[in-house]
């Protein structure tokens, strides 16, 4: 049995995780950090920082899906990862992972030059804009573009009612337009990923992990 403490249980993602866990035979949502096997956090940055302190106190690994951290908070998370295993990712769906891998492959195998537009659409209640995933995608392109084939990157954000998440990356020039797209049709893809990682992170040593460490 895997005992999970969810920080942000009353939120949309917390509710999705709870529903997914209830359908599983080997996962229990607990209200005790001290007695849990791992913590999943989908909350606000201030709450995340508080729960990280509790995780360090009780030596518990944590899976963080919260977005909107400032520089100092990210430094504190990195510092805490020297004490406990931490997964920090703004999107835990396998689909986004494979999207990133496809984009990296495209950048590595092309010798033309392109402009790039990253578009993201989410529900109106999402606080941060652009999304954490859009920021990750921009950073991924900048890091993976070793041949400098991308001249510029523009990030566009929209907030529309009842949209779980759409991320689209378009590379274009005077000859071609190539688009990579992922749409979350259900929050379950995020809760499935978070629970899978929570189970796997219980065997990890202290470090700051990414989804690649679990989905590769």
The verdict on 76 and 104 lying in the same domain is no
Question: What percent of the chain is modeled with pLDDT above 90?
Answer: 82
The verdict on 83 and 104 lying in the same domain is no
- Alpha-carbon span 86 to 61, nearest angstrom: 6
CATH code of 162's domain: 3.30.360.10
CATH code of 194's domain: 3.40.50.720
Q: Kind and range of the H or E element at 97?
A: helix 94-109
Active site residue 122: yes
The verdict on 165 and 119 lying in the same domain is yes
Exactly one of 60, 122, 167, 182 is catalytic; which is it? 122
- Alpha-carbon span 165 to 6, nearest angstrom: 22
Q: How far is CA 72 from CA 15, 69, 78, 79, 94, in A?
A: 29, 8, 10, 11, 29
Can the peptide bond before residue 26 be classed as cis, meaning omega within 30 degrees of 0?
no
Query: Which of 100, 82, 108, 112 has its CA nearest to residue 139?
Result: 100
- Alpha-carbon span 105 to 44, nearest angstrom: 34
- Alpha-carbon span 194 to 74, nearest angstrom: 20
The verdict on 42 and 82 lying in the same domain is yes
Q: State residue 68's pLDDT score.
A: 87
Q: What is the mean pLDDT of the chain?
A: 94
The verdict on 177 and 200 lying in the same domain is no
Question: What percent of the chain is modeled with pLDDT above 70?
Answer: 100
- Residue 34 pLDDT class (50, 70, 90 cuts): very high
Token pair for 89: 């990712």
CA angle 91, 95, 98 (to 5 degrees): 105
The verdict on 203 and 144 lying in the same domain is no
The verdict on 121 and 58 lying in the same domain is no
- Residue 91 pLDDT class (50, 70, 90 cuts): confident
| CB 101, CB 107: distance < 8 Å | no
The verdict on 59 and 99 lying in the same domain is no
- Residue 111 pLDDT class (50, 70, 90 cuts): confident
The verdict on 81 and 137 lying in the same domain is no
The full length of the chain comes to 216
Q: State residue 124's pLDDT score.
A: 83
pLDDT digits (tens, 9 = 90+) for 8-23: 999 989 999 999 998 8
End-to-end CA distance of the chain: 25
pLDDT digits (tens, 9 = 90+) for 160-169: 988 889 999 9
The verdict on 175 and 99 lying in the same domain is yes
Residue 197 has pLDDT above 80, yes or no: yes
Exactly one of 100, 126, 167, 182 is catalytic; which is it? 126
Range of the domain at 163: 94-183
The verdict on 105 and 72 lying in the same domain is no
- Residue 188 pLDDT class (50, 70, 90 cuts): confident
**Residues paired with residue 120 on neighbouring β-strands, in sequence order:** 157, 167
DSSP state, residue 73: H
Residue 216 has pLDDT above 80, yes or no: no
The verdict on 63 and 168 lying in the same domain is no
Residue 32 has pLDDT above 80, yes or no: yes
| Structural domain count, the chain | 2
Q: How far is CA 56 from CA 61, 80, 180, in A?
A: 8, 7, 39
């Amino acid at each position: 049995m895997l005992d999970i403490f969810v920080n942000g249980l009353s939120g949309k993602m917390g509710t999705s995780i709870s529903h997914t866990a209830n359908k599983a035979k080997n996962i229990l949502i607990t209200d005790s950090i001290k007695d849990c096997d791992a913590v999943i956090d989908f909350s606000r940055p201030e709450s995340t920082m508080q729960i990280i302190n509790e995780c360090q106190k009780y030596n518990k690994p944590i899976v963080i899906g919260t977005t909107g951290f400032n520089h100092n908070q990210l430094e504190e998370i990195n510092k805490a990862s020297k004490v406990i295993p931490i997964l920090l990712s703004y999107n835990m769906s396998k689909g986004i992972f494979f999207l990133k891998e496809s984009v990296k492959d495209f950048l590595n195998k092309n010798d033309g030059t392109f402009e790039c537009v990253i578009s993201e659409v989410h529900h109106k209640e999402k606080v941060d804009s652009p999304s954490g995933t859009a920021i990750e995608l921009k950073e991924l392109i900048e890091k993976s573009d070793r041949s400098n084939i991308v001249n510029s990157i523009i990030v566009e954000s929209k907030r529309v009612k009842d949209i779980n998440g759409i991320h689209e990356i378009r590379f274009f020039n005077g000859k071609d337009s190539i688009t990579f797209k992922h749409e979350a049709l259900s929050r379950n893809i995020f809760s499935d990923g978070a629970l899978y990682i929570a189970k796997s992170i219980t065997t990890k040593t202290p470090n700051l992990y990414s989804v690649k460490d679990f989905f590769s």
